[in-house]
Chain A
Amino acid sequence: MSLLEVRNLRVRFETARGWVQAVDSVSFDLDAGESLALVGESGSGKSVTAMALVSLLPRPPAVIETGEARFDGRNLLALGERELRRVRGREIGFVFQDPSTSLHPLMTLGEQLTEALRVHEKVSQRVARARAIEALAEVGIAEPDARVDSYPHELSGGMRQRALIAMALMCRPKLLIADEPTTALDVTVQAQILELLRELQRRHGLAILLITHDLGLVADFARRVHVMYAGSIVESASASELFARPAHPYTLGLLRSVPTLATSLEHPLSTIPGSAPDPTKSVHGCPFRPRCGFALASCESSRPPLLPPLGLQRAAALLSAQGSRRSACFESARVAAEART
């Protein structure tokens, strides 16, 4: 059984300009110790999906319409605030995007690190402090016993992110949700942080849900990748399959906009034309249609379901034993064929 099973999650925001369907029927599974990536451009609903799982969304305006999130056998979305609090921080750790605002500026690292411990486990101040120092050391912060008394502003961005990771892991959770953990950092630090996450995952058997808009990061981090567009998952595949043979035009566009060694004059970097749809308007047909280079007339009338891509089953079966790839596009085969050339 999976550690986390999300089924048919729908979240909307009730705003002054009408309501916004931020997350639309999202389902995915995550096994213990596995890593999974949620990829998509800004505003595609990745953060909302993640925060909905542990009810971190402000309510109102957020409304969770339907959905189920089974974590270790319990439906998180049906839990009361008290039970949820016991899950948060203790069983599911969270790392947020911006390390400079996610730490409390007026509290020492030590206090922020030990807080989760002291809330969830009855440990003495001394033990908690020792464990905080240990945790700081584990995430690679030099002189942890001095740093434990520093304030966030005394640390560099990379160190703050490391501290945040240490904080999320204080109670040894089974799942770490990392919401764009490297976006605010420069490239070398990004690599270090990802390496650290991988290392921690190996050591503690941690499951990681990595949220990012950068497909480049995903390649050698996650086994499975879900691509989100306008609140829905439009393609789901193992990382290797996805890179080898994207089956959704949006994924293809994303891949082509990632610079690689192969980027050259013949295969120049491209961007996806147009912009994400206005989330306050509900759409008929495929939400990607206005930006899609593969669109046919049929794409306008009905919405493509997330299914194993037609005509690709055989190839998929060859590529991966699991054969669990899915794409929400009527023209998956054409897209995959195009991607190969």
Chain B
Amino acid sequence: MIRFLVRRAAWFAFTVWAVITIAFFLMRAVPGGPFSSERRLPPSIEAAVEARYHLDWPLWKQYLQMLGPLNLDERGWFGDSTRVTGGVLAADLGPSLQHRDVTVNEVLAQSLPISLALGSVALFWALTLGLSGGLIAALWPGGKLDHAARALSTLGLALPNFVIASLLVLSCAIAFRLFPVAGWGSAAHLVLPGFALGVPFGAYVARLFRAGLLEALAHDCVRTARAKGVPRARIVWRHAMPSALMPVISFLGPAAAGILTGSLVIEKIFAIPGTGSHFVASALNRDYALAMGVTLVYTVLVYGLNVLVDVAYTLLDPRIDLERDA
């Protein structure tokens, strides 16, 4: 168990490091810098600004400073004695190049909770719709409800989240004025965006869950349970459900990744000041620090959730031998 977790953690750390490194060198390899393209600054000022953000340092030094663990601050090498470490390893992402006088940490601290809230609401919708739809469809396979649920899930899978979002805005918010269409502030602001973001995943969950339930209900061990006189409700709940949930659980990792990606679009449509909006903007503006921060956050989230789902999966299925499978 411990070995399993350690290995997962090592993989995780390696991936994060690889992504940071690739992102860093990709950003620097491309011509143009944060202050070179649009705003044509006088050379002297540009030099001063670049010096302020250490853009005049050699690349390896910038990389080390960004990564930590050495704190190569203004005075070069090891900096002052108060802070020995810095950079990513100390969770310090430095100042934003684009937003003056704001650190990347501050930008993230402000926007990340919003994105996470949005993601949670989306996940909630996905699971609620998906599990209930799949359950209803599987309880009466071939029936009217089953057909309806399957048609809906096919539709939900086919509709991109931004289409759903636009349609929602069009119908719900403008025509009926039920929920706010845009902006941020109250929980009600999250209902529509979360729904739009969650629906495609809900559709997929419904499919997975229906197929899983039907397969589980046809399994020999359900016949054993019936022969014991176990009521149908308990068979569905206790016997079929756990097996049917396994594929859903393993889908949660990719789903979380998809929801995070999807939030880029949804935040744009609903004008939600989340992290997603910073992602594209920072890349376009060559805000190296912010882009790195956002990439890092997303990688950690996507990977962290995946590892979490993997661990949960392995724990839930007693047949998986952790030592061997790790």
Contact = CB atoms under 8 A, between A and B. Distances in A.
B226 interface: yes
B151 to A, nearest CB: 23
Given A101-B219, A101-B221, A88 B227 contact: yes
B228 A102 contact: no
A10 B121 CA distance: 55
B239 A104 contact: yes
B301 to A, nearest CB: 29
Contact of B229 (A101, A119, A164): A119
Contacts of B318: 105-106, 151, 153
A8 to B, nearest CB: 24
B319 interface: yes
Nearest to B321: A153
B226 A56 contact: yes
A167 interface: yes
Size class of the contact patch on chain A: 20 to 34
Contact of A106 (B227, B229, B317): B317
A98 B230 contact: no
A17 B238 CA distance: 35
A153 B317 CA distance: 11
Given A106-B317, A151-B318, A90 B229 contact: yes
A104 B221 contact: yes
Given A102-B220, A104-B239, A115 B225 contact: yes
A103 B229 contact: no
Contacts of B319: 105, 151, 153
Interface of A is mostly: mixed
Nearest to A153: B319
Contacts of A89: 227-230
Given A106-B318, A151-B319, A94 B224 contact: yes
B224 A102 contact: yes
Contacts of B229: 85-90, 116, 119-120
B176 to A, nearest CB: 44
Contact of B223 (A85, A86, A102, A116): A102
A54 interface: yes
B228 A56 contact: no
A122 to B, nearest CB: 14
Interface in A93-122: 93-94, 96, 98, 101-107, 115-116, 119-120
Interface string A147-183: 0000101000000000010011010000000000000
Given A94-B228, A104-B239, A167-B228, 15 more contacts: A54-B227, A85-B231, A88-B226, A89-B230, A90-B229, A93-B227, A96-B227, A105-B319, A107-B239, A115-B225, A115-B228, A116-B228, A119-B231, A151-B319, A164-B224
Interface of B: 219-221, 223-231, 234, 238-239, 242-243, 316-319
Interface of A: 54, 56, 85-90, 93-94, 96, 98, 101-107, 115-116, 119-120, 151, 153, 164, 167-168, 170
29 contacts: A56-B223, A85-B230, A86-B229, A88-B226, A88-B228, A88-B229, A89-B227, A89-B229, A94-B227, A96-B223, A96-B227, A101-B219, A101-B220, A102-B220, A102-B224, A103-B224, A104-B221, A104-B225, A105-B221, A105-B319, A106-B243, A107-B242, A116-B228, A116-B230, A153-B318, A153-B319, A164-B224, A167-B224, A168-B227
